Structure 1
Amino acid sequence: MAEVKEQLLYSKEHEWVEVIGERTVRVGISDFAQNQLGDIVFLELPELGAQVNPNDSLGSIESVKTVSDLYSPVKGKVTKVNARLLDQPEQVNENPYGNGWMVEIELEQNVEEALAGLLNAGQYREYTEE
């Protein structure tokens, strides 16, 4: 069974969101998603400063099985990209909630509003078991 971290929020597109600052979140893909994708071999990530809205593409993830889009779960500006993943995409498989994070986004709205549509750990667990 895939690991679901209690302190994170999740999108229905299988991205996780961690609040790391007053208006900043870190985003990656869930353990469930990386399991479904299989061995990740390539990532395309957004440019620094890119403006994103919920469900906008942040880039793509290529695995031995398929290519999938990575979606933004929030509205804001990309302030940091995990460039290490460009040379070591396997980090997403090995540690999706740690070294496998993908981007940091500075929110345009307050945290409560920005994260209102996301699932908590229990809801996400139920969603992935359906």
Structure 2
Amino acid sequence: MLKEFKEFALKGNMVDLAIGVIIGGAFGGLVNSIVTDIITPIIGLITGGIDFSNMFIQLSGQPQSTLSAARTAGATIAYGNFLTLLINFLIIAWVLFLVVKLMNSLKRQQEAAPAPELPRDQVLLTEIRDLLAKQQQK
């Protein structure tokens, strides 16, 4: 059973999948940082200082000034956090779209590329073969 598991775990697809998951996790952290540290402050500056991280609707308890205090006080809808995650998702979806588009473009170019020419001796041998095949049919 250990041998079978080793064969399964070391198959090319499993290793590729593991690498993809690791790179995807790192990419997600990078996008999160870009949104949190760069895009959100720029949007806040353009819209007059809106801070997405502190946007919430408190459903119960006394009104609070910060999201963490509101969550401690009771039920809270953190729609600012949702907006940040939505921006993260849109960026990741856009980048994945661009990657797939690039891969499809490369695949089409590869398929459209002319087949490499055969060396002269192989062309002659093919012609001789075809002539011999015609003579045998007669």
Indicate the structure with greater helix content.
2
Q: TM-score, normalised by structure 2?
A: 0.20
Larger Rg: 2
